[in-house]
């Protein structure tokens, strides 16, 4: 049930929204992609249908700050990539992060 929404945002404000992963293969993709979001529940939210299990993955492709802003030897490259998971049977690791966590988990 449901469709995967693919949302592609370009550096000049271009937007591609599709319910097929084939949107990633289109010839009219922006020259520079700022972010790609995959959302398993957004298509049904407009019909007030909330899925019991869903995810939203936002991949941030913006240019990272220069090395003066962070130490690349001590911390991962800063970005706004996020994975959100909602469900009735979510692992303890996800629960510790309240269903929202960066892609780089701290150890433990």
pLDDT at 90: 60
Answer yes or no: is 23 within a domain.
Answer: yes
Q: Does the residue 48 lie in any domain?
A: yes
Q: Has residue 78 been placed in a domain?
A: yes
Task: Please indicate, yes or no, if residue 84 is contained in any of the structural domains.
Answer: yes
pLDDT (0 to 100) of residue 77: 75
| Dist CA 105 CA 65 (whole Å) | 21
Is residue 107, in this structure, part of any structural domain at all?
no
Instruction: Give domain status of residue 108, yes or no.
Output: no
Are the C-beta atoms of residues 3 and 18 closer than 8 Å to each other? no
Q: Rounded to two decimals, what is the model's pTM?
A: 0.70
**Averaged pLDDT, groups of 10, the chain, 108 residues long:** 81 89 79 92 81 88 75 77 78 57 48
Domain membership flag for residue 83: yes
**What pLDDT is stored for residue 107 in this prediction?**
47
42: three-class secondary structure by DSSP: helix
pLDDT at res. 27? 81
Domain of 92?
5-102
Rounded distance, CA 30 to CA 107, Å? Answer: 36
- Domain count of the fold of the chain: 1
Query: What distance in Å separates the CA atoms of residue 97 and residue 31, rounded to the nearest whole number?
Result: 35
Kindly state the tokens that stand for 84: 């959100």
Query: Residue 8 class from Cβ within 10 Å (0-12 exposed, 13-18 middle, 19+ buried)?
Result: buried
Nearest to 55 by CA among 76, 40, 37, 75: 40
Length reported for the chain = 108
């Amino acid at each position: 049930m449901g469709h995967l929404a693919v949302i592609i945002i370009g550096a000049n404000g271009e937007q591609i929204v599709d319910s097929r992963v084939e949107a990633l293969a289109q010839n009219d993709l922006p020259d520079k992609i700022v972010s790609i979001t995959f959302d398993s529940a957004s298509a049904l939210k407009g019909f007030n249908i909330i899925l019991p299990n869903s995810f939203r993955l936002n991949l941030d492709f913006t240019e990272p700050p220069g090395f003066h802003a962070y130490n690349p030897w001590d911390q991962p490259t800063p970005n706004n990539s996020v994975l959100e998971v909602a469900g009735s049977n979510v692992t303890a690791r996800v629960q510790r992060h309240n269903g929202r966590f960066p892609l780089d988990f701290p150890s433990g």
